[in-house]
Structure 1
């Protein structure tokens, strides 16, 4: 399994937080939040691509490892 740097985990969590904030929004508020979510998502995707290139790992494998690391961290009752 690909080792996942903490920075990638933080970026992915940030993108997920921005996505979650979309709930219940409409109109201009929704549009503004979509932009924030898109920016956060683009940042994590760019970081995943850069990490894959720097380590020689496959980009899909890195992305999967990041998502899995975030999911496992959220399931850990000691986290939060």
Structure 2
């Protein structure tokens, strides 16, 4: 689904935030941590932060069947 090879810790961070949001428990601190991690990964990878964020959200929120 994504051509970006996300590290497991970034995927888990986004997954935890998404699950917290689903329960209505996402905090500003948790959301900020996710954004900081996305920004750091994008900068280190030489990718656009918005592209990274959208691909990560798609990966977490709409996983491929059997993934």
Q: Which runs of 4+ in 1 moved over 6 A?
A: none
- Matched residue, 1:18: 20
RMSD (Å) for aligned C-alpha atoms: 1.9
Gaps of 5+ in 1: 23-32
What's the offset of the Cα at 1:64?
Answer: 0.9
Compute the TM-score of the two structures, normalised by the length of structure 2.
0.77
Compute the TM-score of the two structures, normalised by the length of structure 1.
0.67
Q: How many residues align?
A: 65
Gaps of 5+ in 2: none
| Corresponding position: 1:50 with 2:36 | no
